[in-house]
Structure 1
Amino acid sequence: MRSVRDAAFDVLRAHGLTTVFANPGSTEVSLLSDLPDDLEFVLALHEGSVVGAATGWAIARQAPALALLHTTAGLGNAVGALATARENRAPLVVLVGQQDRRHLAQEPFLAGRLEGLAGDYPVRVETPPRAQDVPGAIGRAAHAARTARGPALVIVPMSDWAEPMEELPVPAPAVLLQSSGTDARSVAKVAGLLGAAVSPALVVGAGADDAATWEALTELAETLGCPVWQESFGARAGFPQDHPSFAGHLPGDRTRLRETLAPHDFVLVVGAPALRQYPYATGPLVHEGTRLVLVTDDPGEAHRAPVDLAVLTPLPAFCAELAGAVPPRPAAVRPDFRRRAAAVEPPREGEPLRAAHVFAAFAGRLPADTVVVEETPSSRPDLHALLPARRPLGFLSAAMGGLGFAMPAAVGVRMAVPERPVVAMLGDGSSLYQIQSLWTAAHYHVGVIFVVLANGRYAVMDRLAELQGGKPPWPAFEEVSVSAMAGALGCPARRVTDHAELLRELDAVVPTLRDRTEPLLLEVAVEPDPIFVP
């Protein structure tokens, strides 16, 4: 007789969930022992790395990924990464182990109160009432992960997998189709507003990061002859950042935001919150004469947006129809809004390296389709200026803002799209949050280049304390060697301390990016950057 486990494997196969990212515990052994040959197991050494790698995989594949967590300890360790997955709109099916159903009422060792542990970050949490309901719950989680674009959790008692499966249909649709069409009236409404605007502008965000939407927004920007801004704190690029219409990244404070958008009487926000801020400041988002309209496929963004009009719609089709519906503006030439980065001069003899020197060295060498996974809070503006995203999925960061995303996410991205070069840019403080993921990269031959900018401190926190007029109480950690830890985890690593050495390393490594099957960590000693204002 077929078991619940057998039926669950069939559901996983039907949804393409055949790669299992996991850090197993005893409550999951009954599922994982003698795993079928067509299911691939990927071990990570911490649950944050499990979910981080699955998140990178899901974003790169634009399809749900499967993660397995161990009861209370595992789910608890992964909550921050699940929050990031939710904010990054990454579809995940997460199976969480639980103690044996037959004595759960007595709260045995390793039993967990799991349903509320991750808070509101999962898009769905289900504990099946019977063992035989587990396969259907997995199918429902796969659909929820796709439609709500986030982590969907299924909590499974360890005894359920061996139970006999009844010969009834699994209560979840085998295939769920969503309409990709648009409402012609919505297109006409937004097109009319754009056509009537004297000085329109576009703001794009992570939701627009796919080839079809980039193409449509490029046509729209060229038709309008208007600038295109990237949302502040964007986790992905919503527009080709080397295009003449790209004006740069919006500032993250309200005063500078108002001034940036002041020349425009109409701002269309596509695939981004309207408009994300940090830190808090008083006053309106935009001047009284500026009208805001949002187009998004995220219900949460639409519901909370302080805009005149919000349109909830699939973005590729809507943007394509909108680009065709807007008449060209009477401009003699197409303007060039690009803000070209100031030339970065190499450091003089004896001068220390800075982050900008590292980014500038990469800028002329990286292939256009490189995926840059970022976690360098203190030097992010320099990275944006010097390493613009030139292809969809060209830039990836943690929408939540928490640390510990970039290293495992880069592993997951490269595993999902091995034809794309992948470079992770991290601060040394950031790298320590999920340093364990280097073992996964080494063991599974994942050819990511990890560039760790080592200044021996939490530089962005130091700068924020200085902006408050205070002195940080936390110490530096200059004695920490990330390259030594990488070596201990089986990942090849080298430490770079001067510019000439950096250039030699990049000339040797960058040409191998597309085909390499071995990770490499470059720990680059840098001087902390000046005060960074988001």
Structure 2
Amino acid sequence: MRTVRESALDVLRTRGMTTVFGNPGSTELPFLKHFPDDFRYVLGLQEAVVVGMADGYALASGTTALVNLHTGPGTGNAMGAILNARANRTPMVVTAGQQVRAMLTMEALLSNPQPAMLPQPAVKWAYEPPRPADVPPALARAVQLAETPPHGPVFLSLPMDDFDAAVTEAEDRAARTTAARRVEHITAPRPETVQSLADRIKRARSAVLVVGDDVDASGAWDSVVRLAERGGLPVWSAPVSARVSFPHDHPLYRGELPPAIGPLARTLDGHDLVVVIGAQVFRYYPFVPGPYLPDGTELVLVTRDSDEAAKAPVGDAIVADPAVTARALAEHFPACESTRAPDRRESAPQAADGPLPPGTALAAVAEGVPDDTLWVNESPSNVVQFHEAARISAPGSYLFSAGGGLGFGAAAAVGAQLGAPHRPVVAVLGDGSIHYAVQALWTAAAYRVPVTFVVLSNARYAILQWFAQLEHAQGAPGLDIPGLDISAIAAGYGVRSCRAEGAGELTKLVRDATGRREGPVLIDVPVTTELPSL
């Protein structure tokens, strides 16, 4: 007779989930013992880093990630990263060990007394199987839920004594049958709905497209480009985009909308119809009051998330697959030649001695990377300069956290490199941001993951200094972080590190690191501070 562990491992094999991101505790050891050779365990030194790595892995590989945490304390440590994964719409199964069933009633040490409540509302589903034999089918259900749009993390609490329990042949076979199910999630709009929206676009005096993260995530990139070109529609990125969903070198591309109500409406002034595809309407912060749209402007949202459609403060909505909808819409417009602007990326200007301006530093980094680079960004105060320098123009090439919490960048870059091993991964990080997940450097070194970490060092939380100006909160403490030596810290974790003092040197260091790919490299870049603007 087989055990729950053997049956659970077969469920995971059936789903192709043989990479486990974890930080083990005593309650996880019964699952991990006799770890099979066809599985890979990726160790993180702190649970938020573990989830961040799994987040990047899932987004880069297009698969569902598997996480193994240590009961209640480990889940608590990981909560910020799980919230980021929810905002990123990342398919992820998060498991956590639980005390043996015989000691749960007395709440013995390491019991999680409310296992389904602790991770809420960061997960789509939280569950503790009522019997040991229910663990394998619960895993199969968890994967299906994680992969159901909108994608997101789910949580399972697994008592440690379940894994050595026996399952019957029928239970084992039923679990594998359940795991082998394939569910196709494609919701096509009605033809009359497509016709109506196409007619509205044609009647509009000046229609505009706004694209969001789900265009890239759902495979709608080519369909949206075709729609924009055939309809002659200018394209904006939705505010605080976590992915690039339209080529930034395209002549129809206009940039990223500001993330505040009043400024966003002013930016769209002159357009009488706004068609939003694959984005929330909208990601606003900070609060700058004003109308949601210019006077007389209408909005239509296309999304596969019914909750996103319901919570939009303005406009109509179509709940359907973005790729199918955009492709069907494009057929209502005459075909045309695809046009692309020449790459306007210029060599980085040479700066005087001292810290580089952020734009100069980012241009130097962009000049040194290969064309197929997968970028991870967690330098919040320099997002505009980053996009001006990188000009990303291929799908699946940019990751940023949609959740607003720091700690995603360094960890996600390690996971992304593991998920897309044939692509160079470059992480652009602030010197404040990297310390939320600095333990990811150890994993990169221990597993020889060839990420190029570029740390823009200005010894402050620049994004918070900007918010302090907006919120009239000058004089708030804790916004400066002097005395950091990220190169020394990286060396302590086993990562080769260096410091770039000029733009030319920075380009060479990035080119060498991404060309050789012999393990992780961290490049510390002193930069000046340039605060964003709305």
TM > 0.5 fold call: yes
Whether the aligned pair in 2 keeps the contact of 1:254 and 1:280 (CA below 8 Å) is yes
Using the TM superposition, name which of 7-16 and 204-213 deviates more: 204-213
Aligned partner of 2:322 in structure 1 is 315
- The one-letter amino acid paired with 1:195 is K
Residue 430 of structure 1 pairs with residue 436 of structure 2: no
Q: What is the CA distance between 1:187 and its match in structure 2? A: 1.7
SS of 1:68's partner is: strand
Residue 47 of structure 1 pairs with residue 42 of structure 2: no
Whether the aligned pair in 1 keeps the contact of 2:240 and 2:259 (CA below 8 Å) is yes
Q: What is the CA distance between 1:255 and its match in structure 2? A: 2.1
- The one-letter amino acid paired with 2:280 is P
Instruction: Report percent identity of matched pairs.
Output: 39
Q: What is the CA distance between 1:287 and its match in structure 2? A: 1.3
Alpha-carbon distance change, 268 to 387 in structure 1, aligned in 2, over 3 angstroms: same
Residue deviations 1:28-66 (CA, integer Å, cap 9, x gap): 001101111111111111111111111111111222110
Q: What is the CA distance between 1:318 and its match in structure 2? A: 1.6
Q: What is the CA distance between 1:314 and its match in structure 2? A: 1.4
2: CA distance, partners of 1:502 / 1:179 = 45
Aligned partner of 2:512 in structure 1 is 508
2: CA distance, partners of 1:409 / 1:449 = 12
Aligned partner of 1:482 in structure 2 is 486
Whether the aligned pair in 2 keeps the contact of 1:271 and 1:315 (CA below 8 Å) is yes
Whether the aligned pair in 2 keeps the contact of 1:204 and 1:228 (CA below 8 Å) is yes
Aligned partner of 1:194 in structure 2 is 201
Q: What is the CA distance between 1:498 and its match in structure 2? A: 3.1
Give the alignment partner of residue 251 of structure 2, picking from 244, 250, 266: 244
| TM, length-normalised to structure 2 | 0.94
Using the TM superposition, name which of 275-284 and 123-132 deviates more: 275-284
Aligned partner of 2:126 in structure 1 is 125
Alpha-carbon distance change, 376 to 15 in structure 1, aligned in 2, over 3 angstroms: same
Residue 461 of structure 1 pairs with residue 468 of structure 2: no
Aligned partner of 1:160 in structure 2 is 162
Alpha-carbon distance change, 307 to 101 in structure 1, aligned in 2, over 3 angstroms: same
Q: What is the CA distance between 1:341 and its match in structure 2? A: 8.2
Aligned partner of 2:226 in structure 1 is 219
SS of 1:12's partner is: helix
Q: What is the CA distance between 1:198 and its match in structure 2? A: 1.5
Residue deviations 1:223-250 (CA, integer Å, cap 9, x gap): 1112100011010011111111111110
2: CA distance, partners of 1:61 / 1:334 = 28
Q: What is the CA distance between 1:105 and its match in structure 2? A: 0.2
State how 1:131-530 maps to structure 2 within 5 Å. Answer: 131-148=132-149, 149-168=151-170, 169-170=174-175, 172=178, 174-180=180-186, 182-183=188-189, 184-209=191-216, 212-327=219-334, 345-348=349-352, 350-467=353-470, 468=472, 470-474=474-478, 476-512=480-516, 516-529=517-530
Whether the aligned pair in 2 keeps the contact of 1:194 and 1:326 (CA below 8 Å) is no
Alpha-carbon distance change, 520 to 4 in structure 1, aligned in 2, over 3 angstroms: same
SS of 2:427's partner is: strand
Whether the aligned pair in 2 keeps the contact of 1:248 and 1:338 (CA below 8 Å) is no
Whether the aligned pair in 2 keeps the contact of 1:247 and 1:337 (CA below 8 Å) is no
Q: What is the CA distance between 1:507 and its match in structure 2? A: 4.1
Q: What is the CA distance between 1:464 and its match in structure 2? A: 2.4
1: CA distance, partners of 2:217 / 2:123 = 24
Aligned partner of 1:61 in structure 2 is 61
SS of 1:93's partner is: strand
2: CA distance, partners of 1:294 / 1:504 = 44
2: CA distance, partners of 1:339 / 1:291 = 34
Q: CA RMSD in A?
A: 2.2
Whether the aligned pair in 2 keeps the contact of 1:368 and 1:391 (CA below 8 Å) is no
- The one-letter amino acid paired with 1:253 is A
Alpha-carbon distance change, 37 to 247 in structure 1, aligned in 2, over 3 angstroms: same
2: CA distance, partners of 1:382 / 1:338 = 19
Unmatched tracts of structure 1, length 5 or more: none
| TM, length-normalised to structure 1 | 0.94
SS of 2:66's partner is: strand
Q: What is the CA distance between 1:469 and its match in structure 2? A: 5.6
Alpha-carbon distance change, 179 to 49 in structure 1, aligned in 2, over 3 angstroms: closer
Unmatched tracts of structure 2, length 5 or more: none
Whether the aligned pair in 2 keeps the contact of 1:137 and 1:172 (CA below 8 Å) is no
- The one-letter amino acid paired with 1:397 is F
SS of 1:486's partner is: helix
Residue deviations 1:261-282 (CA, integer Å, cap 9, x gap): 1111111000001122111132
Whether the aligned pair in 1 keeps the contact of 2:347 and 2:367 (CA below 8 Å) is no
SS of 2:313's partner is: coil
2: CA distance, partners of 1:305 / 1:185 = 23
Using the TM superposition, name which of 222-231 and 184-193 deviates more: 184-193
1: CA distance, partners of 2:133 / 2:473 = 61
Q: What is the CA distance between 1:392 and its match in structure 2? A: 0.9
Alpha-carbon distance change, 505 to 337 in structure 1, aligned in 2, over 3 angstroms: closer
SS of 1:106's partner is: coil
Whether the aligned pair in 1 keeps the contact of 2:464 and 2:479 (CA below 8 Å) is no
2: CA distance, partners of 1:337 / 1:291 = 30
- The one-letter amino acid paired with 1:377 is P
Alpha-carbon distance change, 281 to 211 in structure 1, aligned in 2, over 3 angstroms: closer
- The one-letter amino acid paired with 1:161 is F
